[in-house]
């Protein structure tokens, strides 16, 4: 995230920090709940593992990782208001202001078994952020991200609203970047498509694939990569 984009989004989310709703980047809590479920499916067992949630927002995902036995859970976010509130409400977890652009912060945080980036990559330099997160991952660790799909027309409207600040990747770009990660044992993507009947769940998910030739553009992408032992 360059300084201009980081400053823009810090100010933007500072204004949202007192919002009553428990979600930030989604249309409703059901979308967030299913998204978090997809993240946990990709993360796998978290008990006893050191976890980093990048762009932690209200802290629900980090708190859930702690609840299922994460050995140490750290949440970071560029919005100071979120972090100050989380330090007061959840003192057993570690909360830090900053982004993966801050090399000093990354060095201080150390290495992790699980790193999540949910609704982060559209706000940052995707390649640089993935490389930095990957460098902080322990051997055998997992990196899991959820990001809007630039190929989706609905996402295109958000890009038009925030020109030059909101730049999500395409499935092909994520696949190409994953292929360049050193010591990557395996990676895959899932497409998240809005269900025609959303009475039960808002999304239908594709299977995992390394060659994301989806029949239609999914709204969001789940990305997961496993580092070699």
CATH fold of 3-19+36-227, please? Rossmann fold (3.40.50)
Q: What is the pLDDT of residues 148-162, one digit of tens each?
A: 999 999 999 999 999
Across residues 189-209, what is the average pLDDT?
A: 96
Q: What is the pLDDT of residues 104-161, one digit of tens each?
A: 999 999 999 999 999 999 999 999 999 999 999 999 999 999 999 999 999 999 999 9
Distance CA(155)–CA(221), nearest Å, equals: 12
Burial class (CB in 10 A: 0-12, 13-18, 19+), 81: middle
pTM of the model: 0.96
Across residues 200-226, what is the average pLDDT?
A: 95
> Is the distance from CB of 90 to CB of 59 less than 8 angstroms?
yes
Q: What is the pLDDT of residues 4-19, one digit of tens each?
A: 899 999 999 999 888 7
Across residues 206-227, what is the average pLDDT?
A: 95
């Amino acid at each position: 995230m360059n300084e201009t984009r980081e400053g823009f989004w810090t100010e933007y989310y500072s204004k949202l920090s007192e919002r009553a709703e428990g979600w930030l980047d989604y249309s409703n809590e059901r979308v967030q709940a299913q998204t978090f479920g997809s993240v946990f499916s990709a993360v796998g067992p978290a008990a006893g593992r050191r976890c980093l949630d990048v762009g932690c927002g209200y802290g629900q995902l980090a708190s859930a990782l702690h609840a299922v036995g994460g050995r140490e859970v750290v949440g970071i976010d560029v919005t100071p208001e979120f972090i100050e509130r989380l330090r007061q409400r959840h003192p057993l977890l570690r909360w830090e202001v900053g982004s993966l652009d801050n090399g000093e912060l990354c060095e201080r945080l150390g290495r992790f078994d699980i790193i999540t980036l949910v609704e982060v990559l559209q706000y940052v330099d995707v390649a640089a952020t993935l490389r930095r997160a990957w460098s902080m991952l322990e051997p055998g660790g997992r990196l899991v991200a959820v990001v809007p799909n630039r190929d989706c027309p609905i996402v295109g409207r958000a890009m038009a609203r925030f020109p030059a600040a909101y730049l999500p990747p395409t499935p092909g770009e994520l696949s190409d970047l994953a292929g360049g990660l050193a010591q990557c044992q395996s990676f895959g993507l899932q497409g998240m498509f809005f269900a025609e009947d959303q009475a039960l769940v808002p999304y239908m998910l594709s299977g995992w694939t390394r060659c994301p030739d989806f029949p239609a553009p999914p709204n969001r992408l789940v990305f997961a990569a496993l580092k070699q032992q």
